[in-house]
A and B are shown apart, each in its own frame.
Chain A
Amino acid sequence: MDAVGERRINYDARGLAEPDAEVPNVSEVDGSSAVFDAAELTTRQINLELRNLVYERGVSDVTVKNPGSKHSLGVGILTRCRITFEGSLGYFGCGVIDGPEVHITGRVGWSACENMMSGVVVVEGNAGSLTGAALRGGDVVVKGRVGARSGIDQKGGTILTLGSVGSMTGFMMQRGHQIICGDAGPGLGDSMYDGTIYVAGKVKALGIDCVPGEWTAADSEFIERKFRIYELGTPPKFQKFVCGKKLYNYDNLEPSERKLVL
């Protein structure tokens, strides 16, 4: 975004300038539910429409048709609501959200759910690289496969992948959980500080300082609960991986300090 005089210029996913984007008001609203077609709308128009419905019109259940893999959709929603995208999202979908329950019937591109604070995002298809980067809280459920470096810098929350994941998954992970039902690429959990990674399939290679962890009843209970919540059936058998704490471990904070930081 560039400031030009007093006008702010915004760019949509195609790089087109939108200096005067306004709420398009194209939704069909029925009580607390609304539906709108995003096929002919720009990224900014879609997000403006979403925010208007959720914040100004008291709608708690929004369906967005034909998102068309546009980038940065559904970002910055900081309230509890239900959003369904009927189709696929491009890069940075549902980033920096705090509270919503999002259902995506297609796939998501790179960096979905980046910096997500809380809520749930369920993706029916595949996800690109960097899914859940710097995730702080909430659950990200991907029913397909995920690209490289999912959960990089993860600081909380859970990323549950029914398929396989690419290289460097959980790179520099600091907290939270990853549950991977398929195979994991090379460099799993590389340089992780903390957190837990569960893998049901084969691990091509562990990353630096990522080591097998001791299985406890709490691990079983945690995984079973997640599978129950998302109606995923009986969980497979997992291996557990944690930080060996031989490389970097700067976590010398008192519990109260840690709460403030994380």
Chain B
Amino acid sequence: MCGIAGIIYRDGARDVGHDMTAMLQSMKHRGPDSTGYALFAPASSQIVMRYTLADANDARDFEYEDRIERHRHEVEARLRELGAQLHEVEVETDYAYRATMTYDGDLKRLADFVEDVPGAEVLSLGNALEIVKDLGDAETVADQYKLEGFNGTHAIGHVRMATESDVDISGAHPYWAYPFSDVAVVHNGQLTNYFYWRRRLERSGHRFQSECDSEIIAVYLAEKMSEGLTLDEAMHKSLEELDGVFTYMCVTKDALGVAKDEMAAKPLVLYEGVDMVALASEEIAIRAIIDHEIDTYDPYEGEVLVWMR
């Protein structure tokens, strides 16, 4: 089933970590397997990289701690080797890290070089985007990664009920649009031409972290935008070229967009207020952050809506 949520503030940054956690926790029943966030802090000149060196449910053998430590040093060495000026590496869990750095080189090269370290997976990379995802419900993940108090301008999130791939961090949303910085997607639905697009995008040089069809959307949109389309245009194009039933949300540094397939088979409720736009699979998620009566509605089939912050 899965549940998705998005929020964009029209009056500057707020505690988006708190709001997104409240929205996602209220939809726990739609997906208890994993929870993920794509949070946008106010853009900075520094690069933030979120990455993991193992999955949450990987076996903890006798070598585990030594191996992780070794790989962690290897990642940091490689970042320095590419010319990144590493400011801080925060240890979020015993397998997840947040590195801040100054780097003006090729982000794809950096991501590829890091992911060449065994077990390493770059979850997000950019000046503003931070993707956090792990097993469990929203409160569990928010506690684990200390997301309460995350000051940001917009965000999307996802609660996952795994149906077509494993319960692990790789299968959890959101997906970063590797190798394009600051683009992420959450999706509720199924793509029926997944393999067609995966092969096509792989031939263009993209790599995929998972077997999840949703990852296609992130890379697809980012590639279209890199060809010169706006987010709105890329999302409209996706309605023609992606088959299946879906409602998905995409965030970039400045925008939040949502698209529904032509059957309108997956739910979405939308609230457009003076100070924020909030949208979710269920209205109960929007009510979790707004304590007064509001007007909401369901966008129709084939609709694409984009809001700028």
| Chain A interface (Cβ < 8 Å from any Cβ of B) | 11, 13-15, 68-71, 87-88, 90-91, 106-107, 109-110, 125-126, 128-129, 144-145, 147-149, 166-168, 185-186
When chains A and B are docked, how far (Å) is the Cα of A69 from the Cα of B287?
A: 7
| Chain B interface (Cβ < 8 Å from any Cβ of A) | 25-26, 28-29, 32, 262-265, 267, 269, 282-284, 286-287, 293, 295-298, 300-301
Whether the Cβ atoms of A186 and B296 lie closer than 8 Å is no
Q: Which residues of A contact B283 (CB under 8 A)?
A: 69, 88, 90, 107, 109
When chains A and B are docked, how far (Å) is the Cα of A13 from the Cα of B269?
A: 16
Q: Is the interface of B mostly helix, strand, loop or mixed?
A: loop
Q: Which residues of B contact A90 (CB under 8 A)?
A: 282-284
Closest partner residue, chain B, to A130 (CB atom): B267
Once A15-B28, A90-B283 are accepted as A-B contacts, the answer to whether A166 and B298 lie under 8 Å apart by CB is yes
What are 20 sample pairs from A and B whose C-beta atoms fall under 8 A apart? A13-B29, A15-B29, A68-B287, A69-B282, A69-B287, A88-B283, A90-B284, A107-B295, A126-B298, A128-B269, A128-B298, A144-B297, A147-B264, A147-B298, A148-B298, A167-B262, A167-B263, A167-B300, A168-B263, A185-B300
Q: Which residues of B contact A144 (CB under 8 A)?
A: 297
Q: Which residues of A contact B295 (CB under 8 A)?
A: 107, 125-126
When chains A and B are docked, how far (Å) is the Cα of A60 from the Cα of B20?
A: 40
When chains A and B are docked, how far (Å) is the Cα of A70 from the Cα of B287?
A: 10
Q: Which residues of B contact A147 (CB under 8 A)?
A: 264, 298, 300
Whether the Cβ atoms of A126 and B28 lie closer than 8 Å is no
Closest partner residue, chain B, to A128 (CB atom): B298
Closest partner residue, chain B, to A127 (CB atom): B298
Whether the Cβ atoms of B26 and A91 lie closer than 8 Å is no
Closest partner residue, chain B, to A148 (CB atom): B264
Once A13-B284, A167-B300, A167-B301 are accepted as A-B contacts, the answer to whether A129 and B267 lie under 8 Å apart by CB is yes
